[in-house]
Structure 1
């Protein structure tokens, strides 16, 4: 067989054979983590805190338990990651350091005034599940408070502190300011018993609360 025959034979081989044997490349860890967290969040909502296991999440992700444990060593670690992802649907923090829009506009972004209906339903479903089942696993509720509201308040205080340094607002204490701002606006999260007709109705309420905060903290 001469060189031209060998070349033609190689060209006729399937591309898989030419590449050689071996496993196809798997997802990079950041992508895999994001997919696992999303599946875990949906599973927690469906099966609850006690009903969700790492085995179930691994099965639904079509991965081995060893792969799951490599990224999330325990159910608590997985729950922490889910809470952190959920926190981003509640407050969009931290903010880009170069952001230079009017304060009211940035606060509106932080509190996600433009949230779409699907994301709103998903975050409400997670909050509802947690509220209904918090008594079942108090140890996870400690995690929820630490990784959820506590971290959000700290991040918001850091942002307010930065705005104070830039001379854009005046507060005696950024932590207290963060607490007040969250009290003003987080009460607007959710519908039903709060009487919002729709997201636009709630948005109008939150815009008025933001305007009140901005006026009250404006430098003299």
Structure 2
């Protein structure tokens, strides 16, 4: 008679309950998934089903946190706008204008964060052209207010005497054109971006703008 073999009982291997996430954690998870989907597929082709699947959440939870796909788009961009412009700055900070602009325009980002920043800039630029209503929503909800924040910072620099008095609206627009024009070239890049060389190029451009601003100020004071 064959001897019966039984597997020994396993002790201490209980199947635990899945971790319950807070609403804040669920929100971050959904926003990360939404950003990934929007970058890969664009706004029109992305569905809330896609986002829920990527985030591994139920559509019920998704709609509990966000009213619709448009709100999700605005929230996803807003959650990562610090990658585009680091404003407002913390109080008591003291940097020369050129170094402050390096930090404001996030030329200190890691390669991974810089790649995400570039993808987000391309996303906003592309979708704003395809669906103008999205651009209006981003401004109406104050998700995109980069120029206004930069103008506020320039006003502060002028008040402190760190920069000469100038039309801050035009100056803010010029600074953003200089930086984002370099980050979003008209021709598609081939291969990986040399972030060190890119930052050095943008810093050189900013230095020229500041030098020109100081030169105009000296002429005006004569």
- Residues 74/195 of structure 1: CA separation in 2 closer, same or farther (3 Å cut): closer
1:93 paired residue number = 87
- Residues 25/48 of structure 1: CA separation in 2 closer, same or farther (3 Å cut): same
Matches of 1:43 and 1:28 in 2, distance apart? 23
CA shift at 1:159, angstroms? 1.1
Matches of 2:153 and 2:93 in 1, distance apart? 11
Matches of 1:131 and 1:111 in 2, distance apart? 17
How many equivalent pairs are there? 203
For structure 2, the residue ranges without an aligned partner over 5 or more in a row are: 1-11
Which is further off, 133-142 or 163-172? 133-142
> Are residue 184 (structure 1) and residue 178 (structure 2) matched?
yes
CA shift at 1:169, angstroms? 1.2
- Between Structure 1 and Structure 2, the one with more helix by share is 1
Matches of 1:167 and 1:149 in 2, distance apart? 30
CA shift at 1:192, angstroms? 7.7
Q: What pairs up with 1:1-220 in 2 under 5 angstroms?
A: 26-132=20-126, 134=128, 136-144=130-138, 151-190=145-184, 193=187, 198-218=194-214
Matches of 2:109 and 2:186 in 1, distance apart? 17
Which is further off, 189-198 or 172-181? 189-198
For structure 1, the residue ranges without an aligned partner over 5 or more in a row are: 1-13, 17-22
CA shift at 1:39, angstroms? 0.9
CA RMSD between the two structures = 3.3
CA shift at 1:131, angstroms? 4.7
Matches of 1:26 and 1:195 in 2, distance apart? 43
Q: Is the 8 A contact 2:86 2:105 kept in 1?
A: yes
Q: Is the 8 A contact 2:96 2:162 kept in 1?
A: no
2:9 paired residue number = none
TM-score (norm 1): 0.75
CA shift at 1:125, angstroms? 2.9
Matches of 2:106 and 2:100 in 1, distance apart? 10
Matches of 1:49 and 1:122 in 2, distance apart? 17
- Residues 166/27 of structure 1: CA separation in 2 closer, same or farther (3 Å cut): farther
Q: Is the 8 A contact 1:90 1:111 kept in 2?
A: yes
Which is further off, 64-73 or 179-188? 64-73
